[in-house]
Each structure stands twice: as structure tokens, then as C-alpha cells.
């Protein structure tokens, strides 16, 4: 979530990539809130129906905000905290079953 | 006509009755009730049915032959596609002993059933070819494939059934738990906190609620709960093209279902770590790539089981016009229930396939 406006010390700003865009965010907020605050409403396309999806429940339940983060598909933008220089992409395909195991183990 | 029980079984019968022109009211209790219709895998399972009961194999097999038309009619009438596919099912054996026992059982099945029993044993190489890209576990020794089995999407099926019933003028009454059944001059009156309704015919298809209701129309039947736990995963690319018996299926949108356990624990529909872990281990032992897939949800449901595990189709001798229907495999039998039960309930013609499944076979049969 976004930090309160009256914090004694202002929070740090971080930035990350969303596709070709540079998104500014506050340290501690989620990828979904940073994207929404930047005006990004559509975070993915459902592979089967081709329909656009975007953050909806913002509490990790509805899985509508799935994005690819640093090469890993099926990441929920609404429960992932932003990190400096992370690479986020709109998710447009199903996650491959193989080939991601090693990165996922961490 | 009143149908007590609005799960897949009650709805399949109601759909058939409504299509025949009967005026139908389905009474269903609360959403929080134990409901088997949300605890199933959506399998049309034939190849593992009735090993010790040929009539049960024949009943299930007949339903699988009726399923294609059942599914297409439902889709045409409602626009809801239950995604039926008679694609077959794979069995995967781990270790030599399990494979040998499985092969022996399949051979014995074929001897008992005859030519209709199509089920081929596969060695590891055949199995790998059949399953396409997915990696097989190191301890997988072989398996088999039966083209007799199919899959459907149970939630689509269920919503399609409810939609079709309403299109044929039927009513679905939620939060209408039936407590008491009265009978006077050929008219049944069902009562609950919501009020009462009357009709000359009554179908009881209330799953675990069946025994209490059936006893009020003079039918003594025992039904006990059997717990099934299952999990569903995140969406991944289509990874294995056939469901794996009793354990795995991948849905068209990419989620993988893992389950279903079979437990006798009474009226307890909680999940347990030990059972879920063992299901997950069985899945990974067979298809190790599943080890990286995130589980998004797990749940359990109670499925009704009669004393001998086979369905019950029984009209009351004491109160003619009252019918009791209960079974374990409501998805497999849905097409048959829609086609064959209405002519029995409306016209008294009980198909020969249903004959072996009266209560007479059980000791606890009604004294009537």
C-alpha cells in the first residue's frame, strides 16, 4: 500500500520496469498499487479467452493481476513488494511447466 | 413434481423430467451443507467401475455412451458447454510390483467384462509417448490407457443443468431445507421453516440427507459420508493430454487438479496436511515437473456412499410416487439419469439397466 502522507521521514522512492515503461514507486508498496497509481489498469491477457485482466481484489485471492516478474510467470502483482530495478511484464501466456524450476526454488 | 436435493444428481433427473414436460420444483438446502457436487473431479469413469459387479460396469458404460448427446443437447439449449471429452484416461504405475498388480487387474477386468472392456497396458516408453512432453518419474515402470473414460467440467455441467431446468419452466428453490414429508390421498407435502409445497410425485436425491427423508416415505437406506480432499494449482501450459487415474487432470485454462482422497472420517469436511502431502507426493513421483507448480487452493467435500457402494434406485412400496435415488458417481451417471430415470418416475417403466439397483439387494431393505 501507499505510505501515509505525514510520515516523519519521507519514504524512499524506487523504480522498476513495466514492459518498456519506467514506473516510480514507494518502497514497501506492491507492484499492483504502483502500477495502478501510474495509470496502468491492464496487467495481463488471459491466454484462453484473449481478454484483458487487471488488479481486482488486491488481497491475493482473485489471481486477476498475474504478471511476469524477472522471468517468472504467475506472480500476483498485488502481494509482491516492489524492488529497485525489478522487471515486470504483462502476462500474455500460460506459464511453461519446465525451465523455471531452478529460479523458483529460491 | 418435487425433487428434494439440488446437486448434480437431482438436477440431472430434474432436467430429464422437465424436458418430458413435467412441472418441476427443486428444493435445495443451504450452500454451507455438505455437497458432493463441489467435491468431484469431473471424470466420466468407466474403466475402474464394477470390478465385482458387472451390472454396475454396464450401467456406467451405458451412461458414457449417452454422454455425447447429453452434453451437446445441454450446450445447444443453454449455451453453456460442459466441456465433455471422451478422450480416455491414463494409469501410471510406480515400481514393478504396482505395475504387475495393475496389469493383472486389467486382464481380469477384460475377462469379466468381455469385448467392451478396452484397456491397454503400456510400457514406460509407450506411456512417455502417450503423455507427450511431460517428464516421467524415475520409478515409473509403466501404466495403461483406457479409451472408455472421459472428462467434463463439473462446474459448467452443474450451472448448465440449472440453466436448462429453468429454461424448461422448472423452479430451483434455494434455502428450502426439507424437514418433514407428509402423505395424504396420493399427495406428498414437504415442509420446512420456509413453508410447505405439495405434489403427487416426490424424488429424494439429497445425498447425505437422503436416509432421514427416505425413512419418512417408508424406505430404509443407509448412506455414509466419504471424504475427498483435493487441490488445484496455478495455471500452467498444457502439460499432459490425458487425465491420470484417481490423481491428476489438467483443465483447459491450465489449472491442474490433484486428488481425490478417499477417507472414512464421518461428518468432517476439513483438509489435512498429511493427506494433501501424500496426494502431492504421489503426483510428483509420477510427473516430477509438477514439483515447481504452486498450489492455489485445497478443499474437501463429503461424497455419499451406500452400504455396498453402488447406486440405489428405489420407489417406495408403502408410498408409491416417492422415489429415492442416491449414488457415488453423479457425474459419470448424469447422462443416464437424465435419459432413463424420467420414464421410470413418470411412467413406471424401469429400464433393465436399473433393475439390479433396487434396495432388495441390501439387508437393510424396507420391510415393505
CATH code of A43's domain: 3.10.20.440
Q: What is the pLDDT of residue B253?
A: 86
Quickly tell me which residue has 458404460 as its cell.
B61
Length of chain A: 106
Quickly tell me which residue has 478422450 as its cell.
B87
Task: Give Cα A32 to chain centroid, integer Å.
Answer: 5
- The verdict on a CB contact (< 8 Å) between B253 and A98 is no
Residue A96, in any domain of the structure:
no
Residue B160: its H or E element? helix B154-167
- ipTM, interface predicted TM-score of the complex: 0.79
Residue A56, in any domain of the structure:
yes
Q: What is the pLDDT of residue B35?
A: 81
Do B2-79+153-222+307-361 and B224-305 have matching folds? Answer: no
The total number of structural domains in chain A stands at 1
pLDDT higher than threshold 60 for residue A101 = no
Ranges A85-89, A99-103, B55-59: which has the least confidence = A99-103
Residue A36, in any domain of the structure:
yes
Residue A71, in any domain of the structure:
yes
A100 in contact with B at a CB cutoff of 8 Å? Answer: yes
Q: What is the pLDDT of residue A97?
A: 83
For residue A61, what is the nearest residue in chain B, using CA coordinates?
B296
B40, B189, B229, B257, B263 from B272: Cα distances, Å: 17, 41, 8, 17, 11
Mean pLDDT by 10 residues, chain B (368 residues): 96 97 95 79 95 97 98 98 96 97 98 96 95 91 98 94 97 96 96 97 96 96 95 94 93 91 93 96 96 93 94 97 96 98 95 96 57
Contact in structure between B47 and B107 (CB atoms under 8 Å): no
In sequence order, what are the residues at sequence separation of 6 or more whose Cβ sits closer than 8 angstroms to the Cβ of residue B3?
B10, B13, B14, B17, B24, B25, B26, B27, B202, B203, B205
The range of the structural domain enclosing residue A65 comes to 13-91
Residues in B whose CB is inside 8 Å of some CB of A read: 133-135, 234-239, 252-254, 289-294, 296
Q: What is the DSSP string of B78-136?
A: HS-----B---EEEEEESHHHHHHHHHHHHHHHHHH-TT---EEEEHHHHHHHHTTPPP
Interface test mutation site (partner B, options A97, A101, A103, max chain B beta carbons within 10 A): A97
Q: Domain ranges in chain B?
A: 2-79+153-222+307-361, 89-147, 224-305
Tell me the shortest Cα–Cα distance from A18 to chain B, in angstroms.
22
pLDDT higher than threshold 60 for residue A59 = yes
End-to-end CA distance of chain A: 25
Contact in structure between B323 and B314 (CB atoms under 8 Å): yes
Q: What is the pLDDT of residue A99?
A: 55
Q: What is the pLDDT of residue B362?
A: 84
Q: How many CB atoms lie within 10 A of CB B368?
A: 11
The top-level CATH class assigned to B224-305 is alpha beta
Q: How confident is the model at residue A48 (pLDDT cuts 50, 70, 90)?
A: confident
Q: What is the pLDDT of residue A98?
A: 73
Q: What is the DSSP string of A21-58?
A: EEEEEETT-BHHHHHHHTT----EE-TTT--EE---SS
The top-level CATH class assigned to B2-79+153-222+307-361 is alpha beta
Q: How confident is the model at residue A9 (pLDDT cuts 50, 70, 90)?
A: confident
Q: What is the pLDDT of residue A2?
A: 66
Quickly tell me which residue has 477386468 as its cell.
B109
Amino acid at each position: 500500500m501507499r505510505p501515509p502522507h505525514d510520515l516523519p521521514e519521507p519514504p524512499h522512492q524506487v523504480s522498476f520496469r513495466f514492459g518498456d515503461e519506467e514506473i516510480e514507486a514507494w518502497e514497501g508498496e506492491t507492484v499492483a498499487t504502483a502500477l495502478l497509481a501510474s495509470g496502468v489498469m491492464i496487467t495481463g491477457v488471459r491466454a484462453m479467452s484473449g481478454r484483458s485482466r487487471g488488479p481486482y481484489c488486491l488481497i491475493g485471492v482473485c489471481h486477476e493481476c498475474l504478471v511476469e516478474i524477472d522471468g517468472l510467470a504467475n506472480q500476483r502483482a498485488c502481494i509482491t513488494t516492489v524492488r529497485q530495478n525489478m522487471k515486470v511484464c504483462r502476462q500474455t501466456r500460460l506459464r511453461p511447466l519446465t525451465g523455471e524450476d531452478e529460479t523458483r526454488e529460491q | 413434481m418435487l425433487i428434494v436435493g439440488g446437486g448434480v444428481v437431482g438436477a440431472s433427473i430434474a432436467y430429464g423430467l422437465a424436458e418430458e414436460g413435467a412441472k418441476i420444483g427443486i428444493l435445495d438446502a443451504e450452500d454451507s451443507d455438505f455437497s458432493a457436487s463441489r467435491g468431484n473431479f469431473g471424470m466420466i469413469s468407466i474403466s475402474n467401475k464394477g470390478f465385482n459387479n458387472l451390472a454396475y460396469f454396464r450401467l456406467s458404460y451405458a451412461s458414457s455412451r449417452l454422454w455425447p448427446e447429453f452434453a451437446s443437447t445441454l450446450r445447444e439449449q443453454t449455451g453453456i458447454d460442459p466441456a465433455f471429452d471422451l478422450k480416455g484416461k491414463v494409469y501410471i504405475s510406480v515400481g514393478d510390483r504396482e505395475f504387475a498388480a495393475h496389469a493383472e487387474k486389467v486382464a481380469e477386468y477384460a475377462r469379466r467384462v468381455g469385448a467392451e472392456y478396452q484397456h491397454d497396458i503400456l510400457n514406460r516408453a509407450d506411456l512417455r509417448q502417450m503423455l507427450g512432453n511431460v517428464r516421467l518419474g524415475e520409478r515409473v515402470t509403466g501404466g495403461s490407457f483406457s479409451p472408455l473414460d472421459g472428462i467434463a467440467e463439473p462446474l459448467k455441467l452443474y450451472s448448465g443443468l440449472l440453466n436448462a431446468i429453468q429454461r424448461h419452466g422448472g423452479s430451483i428453490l434455494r434455502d428450502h431445507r426439507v424437514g418433514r414429508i407428509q402423505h395424504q390421498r396420493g399427495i406428498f407435502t414437504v415442509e420446512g421453516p420456509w413453508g410447505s409445497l405439495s405434489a403427487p410425485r416426490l424424488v429424494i436425491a439429497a445425498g447425505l440427507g437422503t436416509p432421514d427423508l427416505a425413512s419418512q416415505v417408508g424406505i430404509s437406506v443407509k448412506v455414509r459420508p466419504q471424504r475427498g480432499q483435493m487441490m488445484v494449482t496455478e495455471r500452467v501450459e498444457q502439460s499432459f493430454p490425458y487425465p491420470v487415474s484417481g490423481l491428476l487432470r489438467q483443465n483447459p485454462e491450465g489449472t491442474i487438479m490433484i486428488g481425490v482422497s478417499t477417507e472414512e472420517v464421518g461428518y468432517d469436511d476439513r483438509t489435512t496436511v498429511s493427506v494433501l502431502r501424500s496426494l502431492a507426493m504421489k503426483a510428483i513421483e509420477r510427473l516430477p515437473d509438477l514439483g515447481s507448480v504452486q498450489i492455489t487452493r485445497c478443499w474437501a467435500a463429503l461424497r455419499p456412499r451406500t452400504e455396498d457402494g453402488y447406486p440405489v434406485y428405489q420407489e417406495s412400496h408403502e408410498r408409491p410416487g416417492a422415489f429415492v435415488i442416491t449414488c457415488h458417481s453423479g457425474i459419470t451417471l448424469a447422462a443416464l439419469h437424465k435419459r432413463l430415470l424420467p420414464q421410470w418416475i413418470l411412467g413406471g417403466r424401469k429400464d433393465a439397466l436399473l433393475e439390479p439397483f433396487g434396495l432388495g439387494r441390501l439387508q437393510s431393505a424396507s420391510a415393505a
